[in-house]
Amino acid sequence: MLYLITGQDDFLKRQHLQEALNFYFTQKPHYETLDLEEEKLSFDEFYRKINSLIKNQDLFSHKKLILIKNFFSFFDEKSVINFLKKIDPLAFQKSLMIIFFEKEDYKNKKVFDWFNENKQKVKICEKLTEQKFGDLIDKLTLKYHFTLSREAKFLLVNAFYPETIMISEIIKKLSLIDKKFIDEKTLKEYVFLPYQPNIFNFLDYLAAGNLEKAYELLEEMEQTEGYHPLYILKMITQEIRNLIIVKYFIQFPELRKKTAKNKSLSLHPYVVKKLTPLSRRFSLEQLKKHYQMLIKYNKKIKEGLIDANLSLELILLEISDSAN
């Protein structure tokens, strides 16, 4: 049997892959894995290797489980269809299971049609809606035996949607706090404050017109520390919003007392301390303009109209150009 796992959501793809592997491991098969992104074989080399894996006899098990990663996105359509035709007679062996796992979102009508016509399995993991993303947070907190306040959950959905891998790591991290109930204040202290210094430094470099340092920090956040571009964008958006609040408090001191009980406008003392000198480098109008620009880019990324990395680079230039 052949099984293709693809789609936009990396967390769900990995989850389905692990469930499939766990199920077939119970049958104690001979297991092999091949990642074409790593081995970079020609089509002929790949076919010979797969053919050899299928035909080789194992002394301890007559069943075989083969995991092939990034096959469909590595080869062109003609080669893929050619392979499926060649492997067609083997696809119906009960003793053989080949799982194709695609890192990228793979969509090809001819390939999907072949799987459907030959009654082979395809699992497409689409991105979750915001409602489903919230449901995933509920499932993960239940798994790790704690609950979130309504405000804390709203903050997580707003900050991390649709990044399912990142939210799963954050929920796992929160479970280590050893609290059965986590409110918005605790969430901010454990999740957002540790990441903020990098964003502060990034905005500081931009305000100073130091594009080289800002770009280096951007690369560091993405490549070394593993921040997703969309998450970086959301953190920048949040700090620009905080800068607007700080700017208002500086220009209109009486507002701080009037809004003291408004949770949505309350800022951690550390955040206020870091942002106050930075706020002087931008006018209130500039900050409002940047905030609208960030919302626009966030929407375009979610709609697939622009690449997330390209958005960050354009934002870097726009903010830097307008700094005092």
CA-based torsion, 54, 55, 56, 60: positive or negative:
positive
In this prediction the pTM is: 0.60
Alpha-carbon span 212 to 162, nearest angstrom: 30
Pick the CATH number of 196-322 from 1.20.272.10, 1.10.3110.10, 3.30.70.260, 3.30.470.20: 1.20.272.10
Highest mean pLDDT out of 33-42, 136-145, 276-285 = 136-145
pLDDT at 135 > cutoff 80 = yes
User: Do residues 236 and 275 make contact, with C-beta atoms less than 8 angstroms apart?
Assistant: no
Summary mean pLDDT of the chain: 83
Across the range 293-319, mean pLDDT stands at 81
The bridge status of strand 2-7 relative to strand 121-125 is parallel
Q: What pLDDT score was predicted for residue 17?
A: 92
Burial of 287 (C-beta count, 10 Å sphere; 0-12/13-18/19+):
buried
Q: What pLDDT score was predicted for residue 91?
A: 54
pLDDT at 196 > cutoff 80 = no
What's the gap between Cα 156 and its chain centre? 14
pLDDT level of residue 68 (50, 70, 90 thresholds): very high
Residue 7 DSSP SS3: strand
CATH H-level superfamily of 2-125? P-loop containing nucleotide triphosphate hydrolases (3.40.50.300)
Residue 149 DSSP SS3: coil
Alpha-carbon span 313 to 218, nearest angstrom: 9
Among 86, 111, 109, which Cα is nearest to 100's? 111
- How do residues 235-248 score in pLDDT, each as one tens digit? 888 888 888 988 88
pLDDT at 267 > cutoff 80 = no
pLDDT at 60 > cutoff 80 = no
Q: What pLDDT score was predicted for residue 283?
A: 86
Residue 109 vs residue 175, higher pLDDT:
175
Within the chain, how many helices (H) and strands (E) appear?
A: 17, 7
Q: Tell me which DSSP letter residue 129 carries.
A: P
Across the range 211-217, mean pLDDT stands at 86
What stretch(es) of the chain map to CATH 1.10.8? 130-189
Q: What pLDDT score was predicted for residue 225?
A: 65
pLDDT level of residue 263 (50, 70, 90 thresholds): low
Task: Report the CATH fold assignment for 130-189.
Answer: Helicase, Ruva Protein; domain 3 (1.10.8)
What stretch(es) of the chain map to CATH 1.20.272.10? 196-322
Residue 311 DSSP SS3: helix
What stretch(es) of the chain map to CATH 3.40.50.300? 2-125
pLDDT level of residue 112 (50, 70, 90 thresholds): confident
Query: How many Cβ atoms sit within 10 Å of the Cβ of residue 263?
Result: 9
What's the gap between Cα 281 and its chain centre? 32
Task: Please report, as a single letter, which amino acid is at residue 278.
Answer: L
Alpha-carbon span 118 to 154, nearest angstrom: 44
Alpha-carbon span 312 to 223, nearest angstrom: 14
Across the range 188-201, mean pLDDT stands at 77
Q: What are phi and psi of 68, to 5 degrees?
A: -115, 120
Q: What pLDDT score was predicted for residue 21?
A: 92
Q: Which residues contact 196 (CB under 8 A, 6 or more apart)?
A: 235, 239, 270, 271, 274
Residue 80 vs residue 231, higher pLDDT:
80
